Amino acid sequence: MGTYLIAAVAAAIIYRIGREVVGSFRHPEDEELLDYWNDITKTEDRSAYRQISEHLATCEQCRDRLDELRKRPGGPGTHSPLISRRY
């Protein structure tokens, strides 16, 4: 049991360090882009938020992807217009 715990903690630390280093170089998943757009990442994980910001600043592909996700029916981009059109 103790060994498993140490292994799990070590894996979590390696995962975090790896994510810090690799984070801004890999493309975020759709889900991560949506969380980012909805300010979920901003409140829950500041370092991930910074990484995605940096990534989007340099990656046109992911900016286009985020635009696409926002325009999707039921996506966050359609949320506000629906509210303002209700009346």
Our finding on whether 71 is near Zn ion (CB under 5 A) is: no
Rounded least distance, CB 60 to Zn ion, Å: 8
Site string for Zn ion, 8-47 (x = CB under 5 A): -------------------x--------------------
Residues 6 or more apart whose CB falls under 8 angstroms from that of 80 comprise: none
Contacting residue, 33, 52, 62, 66, with Zn ion by CB under 5 A? 62
